[in-house]
Chain A
């Protein structure tokens, strides 16, 4: 027994030593940054992004958008930003350790990210506690900026996007009866459904039926047959694009030709690639429309295509604008101080970016007008 105790003492001592020795390394490095020299504000901004794992495409688009913005901002020379990018692999615990690293080891002034709302639910309270301003560029679920004073987002929340899309669809098609279809085992689609249901009830629509499906399902005939029999004017579908496209395909084959209104996860050019002509009649609201007649937008699209060889999606666009908002706030704050940055961020009003005019409300949530798009003839078009 004594021997064992000794061993445990050794183990304890060893592990705490390990932790302590690990602590020593990085301390001194970050302290010197973040001081303003000669009128130009220099700041480290941390980025938590989903770079590895099944959702790596989101993280890639976001980091690409940020890098493009970074070059331009540093080129102008009003502020000097240094991005410190960390991977979260889409997991809450990884996102939290990444945030801890950025806040405590790298001493960043502010954080952009993380990618998923689930990650933000874990990281947000911690950043708020430490007094580090944090801005999500793709976190659309309800209640994110309400986590605390230091939590912001520039991503169009579902609570704005979905009602806007439903509104326009009602006006155009004079819809009264709707059917709802949603994926119940995914955070995105479930919270999208909650918003849809609320919006439909507020607009006085009659909900004929609510059907559910699971991630990776390939046969939706049971749900669609039921929906077809009820003859709705509109189908509200909260689905990610991969399932959503299959649903539209099967619905059209079955002879359901009413328009679909989708949530944020449905908003992807991939829908057209997968479903082809069956995708016609999908209505989504988006903060980002790449075909807009606007010089800033055109410039961004061409630059992005030249750099990365593909068209930017909403994630890249939102990230691009997010860094510009950060830079604007840093300039106004005049120093790389966390509290000053937070106050300056909260003051951002009428910022003109590639997504259109943008402001924060008192809670740090988004105030902007979404664009509503419809797929017609195999392409996204503005819906009026």
Chain B
């Protein structure tokens, strides 16, 4: 029963959705202080290459590689965040875009380490490694009635789901804390926020570093899910793709980029049946969105409306269930 329901194809798509959601969150964090950063593809690349190289060359466990990649991306985030503090809007976007390209060019030219444009293959695959580990422990997925590949993708999906949910939970908590309020104040008016006693330097760099870490984390996961990376994966296209998640879904609330990533990853798959036209329709949807809802699909108003609806329904259900108890 369970075995028939689990199709690696859908799990694979779901895994990419989850990775894209993490990327969407990464750009949301920097945007929540009003900084438009396009360096996230570069940070993603740093995370991916660091983790891939560590696990390939030093046989480190994947989890160590992922953590190292995340941290290194965060360090780069701080390094980039400090000198670009004075820049705003388009100027910041240009500098960060430039940074992303620099990272890509380094990957291309550092051939002894990264194999240049050919890319790194044979990176340890998260699911397959996990399968080998549980098999060594004497557990066979057949006990659950699962094929090996079903187990591999189910494991990846569940890990990514847990990770994504906890990242979203963390940033939702943060938004309601002092840090989140400071972010929001800086986004609305930097000068006013400063005069209220908010340390702008600290919070802006914090947001930048957090965004970089999350992007690096997503990159490391990407490397271990795909098992092959090349510099072209982290080029300008990726930066724009990440930006579109936030532009499409909306950047006011965290659910905006989450929805954007979900929708924009599912769309090309759902539209598969019209093969060569699917990207045209994809483009058309984005253009219509821009014209009709420039603030993105999901904003505070929508969220409040959804809340109102669900809370009403919940009240009804609530009373009835109390009675039955």
Contact = CB atoms under 8 A, between A and B. Distances in A.
Contact of B227 (A11, A15, A51, A122): A122
A238 to B, nearest CB: 11
Contact of A122 (B128, B161, B228): B228
B275 A85 contact: yes
A219 interface: no
A52 B6 CA distance: 29
Interface stretch (B52-60, B112-120, B191-199, B206-214): B112-120
Given A23-B7, A104-B8, A191-B118, A89 B279 contact: yes
B268 A118 contact: no
A29 interface: no
Contacts of B317: none
Q: How large is the interface on B (under 10, 10 to 19, 20 to 34, 35 or more residues)?
A: 35 or more
B124 to A, nearest CB: 12
A27 B7 contact: yes
Interface stretch (A180-188, A330-338, A354-362): A180-188
Interface in B7-34: 7-14, 16
A56 B172 contact: no
A20 interface: yes
A352 interface: no
B275 A96 contact: no
B129 interface: no
Contacts, number: 110
A185 B111 CA distance: 11
Contacts of B105: 185
Interface residues of A, number: 48
A4 B169 contact: yes
Interface of B: 4-14, 16, 105, 108-109, 111, 116-119, 121, 125, 128, 148-149, 157, 161, 165, 168-169, 172-173, 226-228, 230-233, 268-269, 272, 275-276, 278-279
30 contacts: A4-B173, A8-B168, A8-B169, A12-B161, A15-B161, A19-B14, A20-B5, A23-B6, A23-B7, A23-B10, A51-B276, A87-B275, A87-B278, A92-B228, A94-B268, A103-B8, A118-B119, A118-B232, A121-B121, A122-B227, A122-B228, A130-B149, A184-B111, A184-B116, A185-B105, A185-B117, A187-B118, A187-B230, A190-B116, A194-B118
Interface of A: 4, 8, 11-12, 15-16, 19-20, 22-24, 26-27, 51-53, 56, 85-87, 89, 92-94, 96-98, 100-101, 103-105, 118, 121-122, 125, 129-130, 141, 143, 184-187, 189-191, 194
Given A12-B161, A100-B8, A121-B119, 4 more contacts: A19-B11, A92-B226, A122-B228, A185-B108
